[in-house]
Amino acid sequence: MLATAEALATLLGAARPIDGTESIPTLEALNRVLSADVTSPLDVPPMNTSAMDGYAIRAADLAREGASRLPVSQRIPAGHAPTPLQPGTAARIFTGATVPPGADAVVMQEQTEAAGDQVTILHTPQAGEWITAQGADIRSGSVILPAGTRLSPQALGLAASVGCAQLEVRRRVKVAVFFTGDELTMPGEPLEPGAIYNSNRFTLRGLLAKLGCEITDYGIVADKLDATRATLREAAEAHDLILTCGGVSVGEEDHVKPAVEAEGRLSMWQIAMKPGKPLAFGAVRRAASRASAGASAPASAETFFIGLPGNPVSSFATFLLFVRPFVLSLAGARTVAPRALSLRADFTQSKADRRNEFLRARINETGGLDLFPNQSSAVLTSTVWGDGLIDNPPNHAISAGESVRFIPFSELLN
């Protein structure tokens, strides 16, 4: 069995950003990956602006001691062009408004007393006080978002702040998904003896959707080698990745592994982790050419394959730890690794496992970690109860009070 770090390195070493880009409206670009740098065509702000409601003045016009009384020569709301400030006067100004030429400071209104068309300045400002200088945030010609950036809401706002109505992004990663197991039943159907509801279909489709993938769902495939091979062949023709769930172990009814070996290759199988040991990685040969499969089909001789275990927590954990960074790499993202925290364990786990354990835990009110009492790979409630996964090294027992490596779901589900 491969160590988790070695397995992840194998996947990421094989991943290459997919071909194909498109220009889309900035409003529709959330979670897409930039294919080109975004360079600002202007300074932000494009002029000197007031950081406060108050009065724009010349610092030299004020007496160095005591208060100064100045006539108010103009009123400047945000969005209105001012006239040059007349010497010896003040301009009433509002937050975000353009500072008039000639003014070199703003005095906030709390440090003034207004009476009619005059204002008494109760504070002697320094030059530049409460003025946001032109280009203080962004300089014209600077790269504000490099290629490979996965676009967050604030990144969209940044692009909009320099006038970008369209953004160049990579096309969506095309993922085919199917599930094996004659015991699987869809919610809404009668649950026959020995059957279970297919929770993995909902979890994995939701995870793929959060990554912005274009999903083709082949549903539940019968536990037969021929049926599995036929689905693999069909799925390979127009997708970047085939993702399966179940059937990758060594049982007589586990047909995914031999089917992939017959239709392509396996580069990796079984990882020294708990939960999630039977994870497979490889590729399926693509028979049709790009031209015959359609202009939008991926141009490659094969389609990547990842087979996840069937237990619900195992499939959830292996997706987050392996499929997520692999898909982000295919999408051309610059950052694919989740950030981890060092937090205090408020529990003791005296029994060490020879495999790398990923334990479901929750942050308590004192900032420590509580462990879900049942760490079985079938207990899906632990993934809703928990805030993330403790990455516990092989052969390591955990003592209360020690620091452990914790990967929040907020990182893994991003």
CB neighbour list of residue 295: distance below 8 Å, 6 or more residues apart: none
Give the three-state DSSP class for 410. Answer: helix
Q: Which residue has the tokens 């065509």?
A: 41
Helix extents (H) in 112-268:
153-161, 199-210, 225-236, 256-263
Q: Is the separation of the CB atoms in 101 and 115 below 8 Å?
A: no
List the chain domain ranges: 4-19+172-330, 24-44+136-170, 49-132, 341-412
341-412 to CATH, choices 3.30.1360.70, 2.40.340.10, 3.40.50.300, 1.10.10.10: 2.40.340.10
Angle CA 343–155–406, to nearest 5 = 10
Q: The domain 24-44+136-170: what is its CATH number?
A: 3.90.105.10
pLDDT for the residue numbered 287 = 82
This prediction has a pTM of 0.88
Domain 4-19+172-330, what fold? Molybdenum Cofactor Biosythetic Enzyme; Chain A (3.40.980)
- CATH superfamily, domain at 49-132: Molybdopterin biosynthesis moea protein, domain 3. (2.170.190.11)
Q: How many Å separate Cα 131 from the centre of its chain?
A: 35
pLDDT for the residue numbered 268 = 85
Interatomic CA distance for residues 139 and 253, integer angstroms: 62
Interatomic CA distance for residues 80 and 86, integer angstroms: 17
pLDDT for the residue numbered 383 = 97
Among 199, 196, 204, residue whose Cα is nearest residue 177: 204
pLDDT by position in tens, the chain (length 414): 899 999 999 999 999 999 999 999 999 999 999 999 999 999 999 999 999 999 999 998 886 656 789 999 999 999 999 999 999 999 999 999 999 999 999 999 999 999 999 999 999 999 999 999 999 999 999 999 999 999 999 999 999 999 999 999 999 999 999 998 888 888 999 888 888 999 999 999 999 999 999 999 999 998 889 999 999 999 999 999 999 998 766 555 568 889 999 999 998 888 999 998 889 999 999 985 434 444 454 557 999 999 999 999 999 999 999 999 999 999 999 999 999 999 999 999 999 999 999 999 999 999 999 999 999 999 999 999 999 999 999 999 999 999 999 999 999 998
Among 172, 182, 101, residue whose Cα is nearest residue 327: 172
Interatomic CA distance for residues 269 and 135, integer angstroms: 54
Give the three-state DSSP class for 154. Answer: helix
Q: Is the separation of the CB atoms in 307 and 254 below 8 Å?
A: no
